[in-house]
Amino acid sequence: MTVYDRTLARREPAARAAAQFATLRTLLGQALDTAPGWQAHLGALDPATVTSREALARLPVLRKSDLPRLQDERPPFGGLALKAPGALARLFVSPGPILDPEGFGADWWGAARALDALGLEPGDVLHNSFSYHLTPAGAMFESGAHALGCAVIPAGTAGSEAQVDALARYGARAYVGTPDFLKVLLDKATELGRDVSSLRLALVSGAALPASLKRELEGRGLRLAQAYGTADLGIIAFETGAADDGMAVSEEAIVEIVAPGTGDPVPDGEIGELVVTRLNADYPLFRFATGDLSAIHTGTPAGDDTAPRIRGWMGRADQTTKVRGMFVRPEQVATVGKRHPEVGHLRLVVTREGERDVMTLHAEGRDEAVAAALAETLASVTKLRGTARVVAPGSLPRDGKVIADERRYD
């Protein structure tokens, strides 16, 4: 038996939203009562007013890149956790360094539904090649497998020969880990003449899955699916069927796609930064900006799963670049836009001309006369001179890029 209610994935979207926002208001109230980090970040917020996505979008974003500083100021978790370290199950240190907690309870990270969607069944053996040392990925998927009644081989980062031996001896039916290491294991098994034909399922994450590698792995008889998660948020989304169905969002998460450098949601289907609100009673995160690009999947997936869907990981949203020795950030481009509401979509293009960096701000609008004022504001905000061009509305790409670095040095 699974530890989660499968009917949650099939409920009406309005019922899901009502339940999620009721939980969100409760967690906001607890955070503002007990968590000094949230008190400082959210200010004088009345949780009762957060009743919709529009209201949620008015809350400030919390950037992943700010966690190391916040955790130094208020150790260990930046004043954002609702429980003390001694009341938690595991305490991790992820690259950054960022301290990440895990609380008690079955499937705390939300991995069970992703594994269930893959086809994992009670009594299966899962070979887990994610790290078990200080970072949470290994424990994340192990807890999900245990919640489904499955055994786990905690392979972690052991050598490929030892992992092949364990996989073959235990007859593992499923694999979880990076896609490239799965190929390493299969190639090593062939080299050693070991029978790993029991392996039929693979949930991969943590690295890109090129189409060529996907075809090769599926050609070896594997059913393959991808999951997207982070050490801070757990499993956010995962494939449940065909790749063009997108990734189903966890029932414990509210996702938004915003223009990079801002907290402003973009239209469904447009690429932007993935912002996640995690509804977790130990370590809630409100409007957590992941720094990753994604988009809302606007197609209609097969089956009766009504969960919102995203298109998965589509790159990094942090497009900070150095121009003439100074950093230029997406937030600065957003500031220019706020000072000029008469223009729409913005894109700062950085090129190299005559051994010199050149900035050109492209702005969608109808009045070309505003270009000079845009250039002045750009210089005021970035402390760097550049030019501005007004282009036709709808003509700039909707690919999530606020700053396009097109410099060539060859």
The Cα–Cα gap between 148 and 139 comes to 14
> How high is the pLDDT of residue 410?
57
Amino acid making up residue 298: T
> How high is the pLDDT of residue 72?
96
For the ranges 147-151, 259-263, 340-344, 389-393, the lowest mean pLDDT is seen at: 259-263
Packing angle between helix 179-192 and helix 211-219, nearest 10 degrees? 40
> How high is the pLDDT of residue 319?
81
Return the higher-pLDDT residue of 275 and 325: 275
> How high is the pLDDT of residue 13?
93
What's the pLDDT tens digit per position in 281-297?
999 999 999 988 999 99
398 phi and psi angles, rounded to 5 deg? -105, 60
Give percent above pLDDT 90 in the chain. Answer: 77
User: Closest by alpha carbon to 294, among 259, 250, 242?
Assistant: 259
> How high is the pLDDT of residue 379?
93
Q: What is the DSSP string of 117-132?
A: HHT--TT-EEEE-S--
Give percent above pLDDT 70 in the chain. Answer: 98
> How high is the pLDDT of residue 224?
95
Q: Does residue 2 carry a pLDDT above 80?
A: no
Beta strands in 279-410 (DSSP E): 285-294, 309-310, 321-323, 326-328, 346-353, 356-364, 387-391, 403-405
Q: Does residue 314 carry a pLDDT above 90?
A: no
Query: For 109, which DSSP code?
Result: T
> How high is the pLDDT of residue 63?
92
Please report the domains of the chain, with CATH numbers, ordered by start residue: 8-316 (3.40.50.12780), 321-405 (3.30.300.30)
Q: Does residue 357 carry a pLDDT above 90?
A: no
99-107 average pLDDT score: 95
341-352 average pLDDT score: 93
User: End-to-end alpha-carbon separation of the chain, Å?
Assistant: 60
What's the pLDDT tens digit per position in 123-140?
999 999 999 999 999 999
Instruction: Order across the sheet with 387-391: list the strands.
Output: 387-391, 356-364, 346-353, 403-405
pTM assigned to the model = 0.84
238-254 average pLDDT score: 89
For the ranges 76-85, 217-226, 249-258, 300-309, the lowest mean pLDDT is seen at: 300-309
For the ranges 184-193, 304-313, 358-367, the lowest mean pLDDT is seen at: 304-313
Q: Does residue 3 carry a pLDDT above 70?
A: no
Which residues, at least 6 apart from 301, have a Cβ–Cβ distance to it below 8 Å?
Answer: 240, 241, 242, 245, 246, 248, 309
On average, the pLDDT of the chain sits at: 93
366-378 average pLDDT score: 94
